[in-house]
Amino acid sequence: MISHAFSPPKPLVSRRGFLKSAAGAAAAVAAPGVLAAPATVALRCSISQPADQQSAQYIWYERFASDLKQSVGDRMRVDIFPNGQLGKESDVVQQVRLGSIDMMITGSSIWATALPELALLDMGFVFDSWEHVNKSVDAGVGEQFNKLLQSRTGCTFIGWGNHFNARSVYTKKVVEHDSELKNVKLRVLPTPIFVETFKLMGAIPTPIPINELYTAVQTGVVDGFEHDAATVLSSKFNEVVSNCWLTNHLFSPSITAIGKRGLGKVPADLQPAFLKAAEEASLYQRQVAGSKGKQALAELEKLGIKFHPMDPGERQRLRQAMEEKLWPSVTSQYPVTKPMLDIINQSRA
């Protein structure tokens, strides 16, 4: 009910009172934590892929940023730097460890430079499908790797997603059998396990940063590369190769890592929401990866890439060769990975 009772007019403020109140207001604004809203925490996140819907890394980031915004509002944000703007991936790994870059989203393979045990996930033909990857990661492989990373570097894996496709071999000339890989120079990631995998397959593995790959193929430094279809499409690598041997030799997880200093910037009361957003982004990205992968393959075919499926018998032969000659070298060098390999084999459909 509105009151119509008469109120006497308030006395005018004196000049001295005005100055006093103004000074008090200014002091309150200047004093941190008194009346001012908390400052926005901003983290820097690096990805090597473009910031578009054909990028597995960006799809994860986009969902993560959206969920984080909904849960914490303007109290913090994560800024994305795509296309390797902050440096080549092997250098970014070191910058995340040092704290000059807060986060990065990348393939698990590149973190093997800091955590060599991750070579387990890069062993040729160790996984049969993305379902196999996810089941293994969620059954304990992911958590065991995270504990190793934290104890070794102080960094944390906060997300495990999928790439849109398994990795296959892309070349200028037609390759349909491992015998045709002999003396073919293939770009591979700069990790020993990738090099050994393709030595066993007969190729000449050549480590080159991904942001130098287009020119390397174009100028003949290498004859081709191995990668997933969506990355080939988003990075326009299809412009420099014509064929794909669908080996599906590696289902390499996409991971999100944050440095100790980066995680320390997240206020304690926001960390549960931060980690929850990462978990939800991982589950979402896994769901869309399959359909995105099929779209990427279809689009590459429209653009002229000729696909050559691997013979099932040849795949079984190569898998057996890897199991006999490659896998034991990893589990013997890094005994902690043997129980993880057991989980992977037990998770096989």
The CATH class for the domain spanning 41-347 reads alpha beta
- What is the overall mean pLDDT for the chain? 89
Q: Per residue in 97-151, pLDDT tens?
A: 999 999 999 999 889 889 999 999 989 999 999 999 999 999 999 999 999 999 9
Query: What is the pLDDT at residue 11?
Result: 40
Q: Per residue in 222-235, pLDDT tens?
A: 999 999 898 898 88
Banded model confidence at residue 37, pLDDT cuts 50, 70, 90: low
Banded model confidence at residue 349, pLDDT cuts 50, 70, 90: low
Q: Is residue 293 a contact partner of residue 164, using CB atoms and an 8 Å limit?
A: yes
Q: Per residue in 267-301, pLDDT tens?
A: 999 999 999 999 999 999 999 998 898 999 999 99
Query: What is the pLDDT at residue 53?
Result: 85
Query: What is the pLDDT at residue 306?
Result: 98
Query: What is the pLDDT at residue 156?
Result: 98
What is the pLDDT averaged over residues 334-346?
97
Instruction: Give yes or no for residue 164 having a pLDDT over 60.
Output: yes
Whole-prediction pTM:
0.80
Instruction: Give yes or no for residue 181 having a pLDDT over 80.
Output: yes
Query: What is the pLDDT at residue 271?
Result: 97
List the domain boundaries for the chain: 41-347
